A and B are shown apart, each in its own frame.
Chain A
């Protein structure tokens, strides 16, 4: 119930291409779905997030698509650049009391070739 399943484990894309990472969840109580980007030697950094009242959110080249009925959400990176090479984590949470505890996917290592 608490799992978030992320795929693929790794992804190689050519510069200028579209990178797509998918996540699926079971817990219908989840109401916050962020994506985190992690570069080697750094902690994860919040990239973009969505709540289930919208089906899509776009910030620059990054778009989250959300399908509530399928319990799936995905990250699309348009015009992928070598600087986007990093590990991406999807996550989900429910607000409980004074803290919100995120459940993370296993991560996708993205490599964008020049």
Chain B
């Protein structure tokens, strides 16, 4: 089944304790992305990756790191989590990051990771 998986689904941690949220897709997609969803603020993009070893900042990258060493995986790293990073996180992927007018790239989302930083 084509899907985007995230782990863990739920995580409670303490300030300053490094953590990694994994994201994996089995669709051979080039483009992957991380969003966070907060009440009243909607979904905002954190980082994205156009392909292996190519990553770039989204709208809210502060306090996060990412890596893209393999096409299927795009982990989100919080080196020193703080309470303002308590949020619902979604990973997404699509076939291409750039496309011409003749094609459309639907984005597929993972089930989400609910993170609480105490």
Q: Do A and B bind each other?
A: no
What residues of chain B have their CB less than 8 Å away from a CB belonging to chain A? none
